[in-house]
């Protein structure tokens, strides 16, 4: 005899959870931002690396990989591309010649500003159905959640 019981229906559907909604909307928005960045030859992880450097994260490739929670080889690949287009400089750490240190260049700061402009234009599209106070409340709420998750903020 089979004693396995069928799963109980959830009191509230998963589609009403913040996690599901943020995850699903995040996927949609990420795809749109990825498409916008592709027009300037970047991917979201390139922007993430520039943001990390701009926010004062440790500049070594290994430390950046830890900060970004990605494989060190991905940071190397991202840095290679950003160095090739003049957005970052990669130099040996004078205190430890085994260590590669990255720094955002002036061109990198300008590129990061362009990425921010793309993001803010997309913000306008995504939040068009909200009033100004709702947009501000959403921005503040996401800032709190992001800070709690350890994400860099620039409010």
Q: Which domains does the chain have, with CATH numbers?
A: 22-148 (1.10.10.10)
* Residue 127, Ramachandran bin (φ over 0: left; ψ between -120 and 50: alpha; else beta): alpha
Element spanning 104, H or E: strand 96-104
Residue 10 binned pLDDT confidence (cut-offs 50, 70, 90): low
pLDDT value for 154: 66
Directed axis angle between helix 44-54 and helix 61-68, to 10°? 110
- The answer to whether the beta carbons of residues 112 and 50 sit under 8 Å apart is yes
The most confident of the ranges 8-22, 63-77, 110-124, 141-155 is 110-124
Task: Please state, in angstroms and rounded to a whole number, the distance separating the CA atoms of residues 85 and 67.
Answer: 23
């Amino acid at each position: 005899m089979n004693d396995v019981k069928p799963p109980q229906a959830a009191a509230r559907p998963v589609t009403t959870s913040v996690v599901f909604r943020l995850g699903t909307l995040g996927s949609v928005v990420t795809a749109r931002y990825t498409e916008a960045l592709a027009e300037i030859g970047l991917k979201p992880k390139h922007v993430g690396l520039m943001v990390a450097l701009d926010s004062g994260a440790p500049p070594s490739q290994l430390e950046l990989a830890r900060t970004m929670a990605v494989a060190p080889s991905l940071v190397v690949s991202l840095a290679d591309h950003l160095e090739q287009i003049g957005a970052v400089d990669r130099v040996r750490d004078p205190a430890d010649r085994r260590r590669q240190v990255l720094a955002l260049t002036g061109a990198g700061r300008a590129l990061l500003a362009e990425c921010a402009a793309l993001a803010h234009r997309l913000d306008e599209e995504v939040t068009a159905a909200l009033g100004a106070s709702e947009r501000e409340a959403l921005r503040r709420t996401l800032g709190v959640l992001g800070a709690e998750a350890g994400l860099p903020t620039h409010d």
